[in-house]
Structure formats: structure tokens, C-alpha cells
């Protein structure tokens, strides 16, 4: 998850308009002889949110400041199986900080845009007063905010993941509220006349052929995606 440059695009919609915030792995830091990746973007610009990965055990940790003290929590555990429980922490997020235990209801493998299979983890709270239904993607994190493993994706409140890039390559896109993805890492030196069509998808995410008079999703070689209808 943290082995290269990553971008998480979180989209929030309100009163008919949508805003997408971009988060990324900025640089490295060391604290108590432990190496971390610094999370940057929007409310992470303080440089105080750090991530580290235990690759062998498939765990992601976050270090953050709370009550003027630096703490570390286990953010994700991708070694979980169906039926396992996991004690959630949502550090500095618009969700309960310590909502308690969640259970993994199901794990479904899905093919993403890089042609690789990823596990989708569907969780629910064991606390009846918590109504969030988080979804994690292996190697990507929550479909809500990156620092909210206990938050359910909601485009109209805290937001949901719309695009995810690894080294400038689009891995995941959820374009139900925006028309396209773009990455800061690619567009700096990109000229539109260099763009080439890479794949065409229907609205169910299935690869299809170019067809006129149909609403389709067009993916280009630079990672740009658009929904459009080409009329005869």
C-alpha cells in the first residue's frame, strides 16, 4: 500500500456541487527509530499524519497527535478473514474516535483497472448505535477517508473515494458523482494531443467496444477518464 507514490481522491457533494480533495504520500520521516510515510493534502497539510506498513503481516499503522501527545494506532489489517472482528480507531476524523469492534461480514475479490484482483472487505459494527458500514480495499484503504477505517463511504457527508493512483497509474475509480479522474503526478507535462484511448467501459464497469449513441466510460493512456455519449 505504501511502496510507491500514491494518491487518494476523496469527493464530497453538497447542494448539487462536488469537490474532490487529493491526498498523497509526500515524503518520509523517522520517529523513535521507526520510518513513516508522511500523508499530505487538505487537512493533512500539517505534516502530522504518518503511515507505516507491516508488509509481512498486512497491517497499516497511523501515527498522529492527540491531546498534545503522539499516538500510533492500527489503522487496517488486511490479513482479516470473514467473521473476524477488529477494533477500529478513526484518528482525527468526522466519526467516533473509538467506535469499538467491527466484524468482517464478507470479502469479495474484484478486478480493478490495473488488471489485478483486489479484496474488498465489507464490515459492520457490533455496537447497535454505530450505523457505519465501512468498505476497505486491499492495498488502498477505506472507501471513505484514508484515516477513517470505521467510516462508511457517503458522497453527501464525509465523502467517498472516487479515484486512486499508484505511481500515476489509475487503479480504482468510482465515477457516480464526477466525470473523470486526473492525477497531479501526470498532468504537469502532459499535452492533450498526446492522449490516446486505452479502454472503453459500459456503466457496469465491463470492457466494451466503442458504440455511438450510448453513454460509455472512456479511459485514456494518461489516466484521464470521462463519461460521454457520441451521437451519430
d(CA 17, CA 46): 27
Q: What angle do CA 210, 224, 168 make, to 5 degrees?
A: 130
C-alpha cell at 17: 456541487
**What pLDDT is stored for residue 188 in this prediction?**
37
Give pTM, 2 decimals. Answer: 0.76
**What pLDDT is stored for residue 191 in this prediction?**
39
Domain range list for the chain:
6-178, 189-232
| pLDDT digits 0-9 by tens, 18-48 | 788 888 887 899 999 999 999 887 666 677 8
pLDDT at 193 over 60: no
pLDDT at 181 over 60: yes
The pLDDT mean for the chain works out to 84
Residues of the chain with pLDDT > 70: what percent? 79
d(CA 207, CA 123): 29
Amino acid at each position: 500500500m505504501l511502496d510507491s507514490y500514491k494518491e487518494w481522491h476523496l469527493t464530497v457533494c453538497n447542494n448539487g456541487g462536488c469537490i474532490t480533495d487529493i491526498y498523497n504520500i509526500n515524503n518520509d520521516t523517522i520517529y523513535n527509530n521507526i520510518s513513516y510515510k508522511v500523508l499530505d493534502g487538505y487537512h493533512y497539510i500539517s505534516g502530522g499524519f504518518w503511515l507505516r506498513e507491516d508488509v509481512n503481516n498486512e497491517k497499516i499503522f497511523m501515527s498522529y497527535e492527540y491531546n498534545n501527545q503522539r499516538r500510533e494506532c492500527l489503522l487496517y489489517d488486511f490479513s482479516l478473514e470473514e467473521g473476524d472482528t477488529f477494533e477500529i480507531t478513526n484518528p482525527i476524523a468526522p466519526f467516533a474516535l473509538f467506535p469499538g469492534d467491527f466484524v468482517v461480514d464478507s470479502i469479495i475479490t474484484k478486478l480493478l483497472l490495473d488488471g489485478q484482483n483486489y479484496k474488498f472487505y465489507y464490515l459492520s459494527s457490533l455496537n447497535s448505535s454505530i450505523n457505519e458500514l465501512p468498505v476497505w480495499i486491499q492495498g488502498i484503504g477505506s472507501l471513505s477517508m484514508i484515516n477513517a477505517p470505521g467510516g462508511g463511504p457517503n458522497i453527501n457527508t464525509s465523502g467517498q473515494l472516487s479515484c486512486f493512483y499508484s505511481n500515476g497509474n489509475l487503479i480504482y475509480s468510482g465515477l457516480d458523482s464526477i466525470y473523470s479522474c486526473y492525477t497531479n503526478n501526470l498532468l504537469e507535462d502532459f499535452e492533450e494531443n498526446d492522449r490516446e484511448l486505452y479502454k472503453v467501459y459500459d456503466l457496469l464497469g465491463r470492457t466494451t467496444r466503442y458504440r455511438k449513441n450510448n453513454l460509455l466510460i472512456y479511459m485514456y493512456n494518461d489516466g484521464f477518464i470521462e463519461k460521454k455519449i457520441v451521437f451519430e
